Chain A
């Protein structure tokens, strides 16, 4: 698992699961469609990514599909890192 995937996964676990929530979460777990992160909570996750990686993610790209898994989030961030 690369650094970014681990950072994002750890952040999601820390911020979006309760302390004694024992659900397994990996880079392919559906976050939005699985009800772990809702569309409002997505805003704080987007804010974290923008601050952490010093990027701007346009609202049009911040779709539920793009945020649905840690893998898709990492792909999104990498897209904007290259720009």
Chain B
């Protein structure tokens, strides 16, 4: 029997207080995500239950109970406080998927810090942009990532502490300090910061169509959404072994890679390894994974390797599959039914929503390719892009819109209230995606409404890429768009006009690719570069990305009356 039971019944009598009651939270009480994900589970008598099964690429395995993560998160919290860090300060986590990442996340929240997880593959420029914008006070990292931090340190006077979790003190430099979690004294009792529902908790940077990435700021009350959606969409139950493949540098990896499962007191398994089809199946078999939350890009890679490989492994433990990050094509849903006997349930949400807002549910028929229906408590619709009024008729393509006010809705973009306010029109939060709703109430994704590139389930902003391209000595002008890709849905393609004295060549092509990969990230790296004489611009000089994008997708070019030249 699924936790959600009947979707229709849940819709009829829903209130977010359901989540509050189940968590034992009463209005007026302090609410701290770190506490709810560790201490509370121990108070319920489950301290000796396994919270985390961690495995690295060499097959080394570590287990942590809920009592372990309670004590170790206290240890982190105490260490950070003793360094002089205060509630409200931004503390970045810049690590691979090692236990220290997951446990320090709770520790930062317990001492009242605002946690800023960042993807460990970010280059120094991407790292700088985000740390500078947030005014980050401390960063927890590993020695392999130190060079990137050191490169930008002089430009970050507010970054006072670089805490290295795997290096001896003697190897460290100015502002750097070693902290070995497993050697540190376990702290039995830490005075958890008495956060209120609106106390800032997590800052996740996300790319937009214009400008540099923005910090979507969440609050401790987001726990209610994350707890309840993990229970009703992912269907997490007491005996489950859950695997979320997302990296906690992205919101899926925190909302459903830490908060969702641990507030539900469920055991989760983490694989700290690059993608490998057999590696993944072996992991599922070894740890008897029951619920698996992954991404369409990974699912398409698994599909490419076929069903024969699936049959080599015992995946009979699996009972529920969900997917996130980009729309899950119908073919993948049908394939997973054949391969695993189970269909992947697509879920839709964003960094800004903090938790799942539209989804497929256990027990509800899946229409392959559909996003599903709104989560109970979420009012979602499709609105006209000019008037922002919901369409009366079904089947019409418009902008996905949500009525503000769900617990995990972001509260602002860090230091960018103007752009934050611009996301709300006519009383709706506008997601930036286009969709239609069919006569049964199922949502169908059409595409982004802007120039943001969704590659491998991660959003990349064209402006950041173009700005970085302009830093290359050969580049005079640049434009970055998404081009179709059978595995990643889209990948970055750059159009580059060169400065006098430079000529297109295979060497320059590769040089620019590597330049962007190291500066920004592998996701932002153009997988194709087209050298052009000039870029299409409006008469006011603005590059018309949509023309370039339309050609890549074989779509109509649309109105070109503002184009500077034919």
Residues of A in contact with B (beta carbons under 8 Å apart): 15, 18-21, 23, 30-35, 37-41, 43-44, 47-48, 51, 60, 63-65, 68
Question: Contacts A35-B57, A35-B272, A47-B513 given; 12 further ones with Cβ under 8 A?
Answer: A20-B146, A32-B275, A33-B57, A33-B273, A40-B517, A40-B523, A41-B522, A41-B525, A43-B527, A47-B510, A51-B510, A68-B276
**Cβ-based interface call for B304 (8 A):** yes
Provide the bound-state CA to CA distance between A30 and B276, in Å: 11
**Cβ-based interface call for B129 (8 A):** no
Q: How far is the CB of B276 from chain A (nearest CB, A)?
A: 5
Provide the bound-state CA to CA distance between A20 and B522, in Å: 20
Q: What are 7 A-B pairs with beta-carbon distances under 8 A?
A: A15-B518, A33-B279, A38-B522, A40-B455, A40-B523, A41-B525, A68-B276
B274:A33 contact, CB within 8 angstroms:
yes
Q: How far is the CB of B85 from chain A (nearest CB, A)?
A: 27
Contact partner of B507 (CB less than 8 A), chosen from A15, A33, A51, is: A51
B510:A32 contact, CB within 8 angstroms:
no
Among B144, B146, B521, chain A packs the most CB atoms within 10 A around the CB of B144
Provide the bound-state CA to CA distance between A47 and B527, in Å: 9
Residues of B in contact with A (beta carbons under 8 Å apart): 57-58, 96, 121, 144, 146-148, 150, 272-279, 301, 304-305, 455-456, 491, 506-507, 509-510, 513-514, 517-518, 521-523, 525, 527
Considering the complex of A and B, which 8 residue pairs feature the smallest CB-CB distances, nearest first? A18-B147, A40-B522, A32-B274, A41-B522, A33-B57, A44-B513, A51-B506, A33-B273
Provide the bound-state CA to CA distance between A60 and B147, in Å: 35
Contact partner of B147 (CB less than 8 A), chosen from A21, A33, A65, is: A21
Whether A20 touches B147, Cβ cut-off 8 Å, given contacts A15-B514, A33-B276, is: yes
A residues less than 8 Å from B148 (CB atoms): 18
A residues less than 8 Å from B521 (CB atoms): 40
A65:B276 contact, CB within 8 angstroms:
yes
B97 closest partner in A (C-beta): A35
The number of inter-chain residue pairs (CB within 8 angstroms) is 77
Whether A23 touches B275, Cβ cut-off 8 Å, given contacts A38-B121, A41-B525, A43-B527, is: no
Whether A19 touches B513, Cβ cut-off 8 Å, given contacts A30-B57, A34-B273, A39-B274, is: no
Provide the bound-state CA to CA distance between A58 and B409, in Å: 44
B456 closest partner in A (C-beta): A40
Q: How far is the CB of B17 from chain A (nearest CB, A)?
A: 43
B274:A19 contact, CB within 8 angstroms:
no
B residues less than 8 Å from A41 (CB atoms): 517, 522, 525
Provide the bound-state CA to CA distance between A39 and B525, in Å: 12
A residues less than 8 Å from B272 (CB atoms): 35
A residues less than 8 Å from B506 (CB atoms): 51
Provide the bound-state CA to CA distance between A60 and B300, in Å: 12
B residues less than 8 Å from A32 (CB atoms): 274-276
B residues less than 8 Å from A48 (CB atoms): 510
A64:B274 contact, CB within 8 angstroms:
yes
Provide the bound-state CA to CA distance between A55 and B522, in Å: 23
B516 closest partner in A (C-beta): A44
Provide the bound-state CA to CA distance between A63 and B507, in Å: 24
B residues less than 8 Å from A34 (CB atoms): 57, 273-274
Among A18, A48, A65, chain B packs the most CB atoms within 10 A around the CB of A18
Provide the bound-state CA to CA distance between A15 and B522, in Å: 12
A residues less than 8 Å from B527 (CB atoms): 40, 43
Q: How far is the CB of B36 from chain A (nearest CB, A)?
A: 31
Provide the bound-state CA to CA distance between A30 and B57, in Å: 8
B304:A47 contact, CB within 8 angstroms:
no
A19 closest partner in B (C-beta): B147
B residues less than 8 Å from A44 (CB atoms): 510, 513-514, 517, 525
B residues less than 8 Å from A37 (CB atoms): 274
Among A30, A44, A68, chain B packs the most CB atoms within 10 A around the CB of A44
Q: How far is the CB of A32 from chain B (nearest CB, A)?
A: 4
A residues less than 8 Å from B274 (CB atoms): 31-35, 37-39, 64
Provide the bound-state CA to CA distance between A23 and B525, in Å: 24
Provide the bound-state CA to CA distance between A17 and B274, in Å: 16
Provide the bound-state CA to CA distance between A43 and B485, in Å: 13
Q: How far is the CB of B548 from chain A (nearest CB, A)?
A: 20
Whether A39 touches B304, Cβ cut-off 8 Å, given contacts A18-B147, A44-B525, is: no
B residues less than 8 Å from A39 (CB atoms): 274-275, 301, 456
Q: How far is the CB of A45 from chain B (nearest CB, A)?
A: 10
Contact partner of A64 (CB less than 8 A), chosen from B146, B276, B510, is: B276
A40:B525 contact, CB within 8 angstroms:
yes
B residues less than 8 Å from A35 (CB atoms): 57, 96, 272-274
Provide the bound-state CA to CA distance between A31 and B517, in Å: 16
Provide the bound-state CA to CA distance between A20 and B35, in Å: 38
Q: How far is the CB of B530 from chain A (nearest CB, A)?
A: 14
B492 closest partner in A (C-beta): A40
A residues less than 8 Å from B510 (CB atoms): 44, 47-48, 51
A residues less than 8 Å from B146 (CB atoms): 20
B278 closest partner in A (C-beta): A65
Provide the bound-state CA to CA distance between A38 and B305, in Å: 18
Provide the bound-state CA to CA distance between A82 and B171, in Å: 47
B residues less than 8 Å from A51 (CB atoms): 506-507, 510
A67 closest partner in B (C-beta): B274
A residues less than 8 Å from B525 (CB atoms): 40-41, 43-44
Q: How far is the CB of B479 from chain A (nearest CB, A)?
A: 20
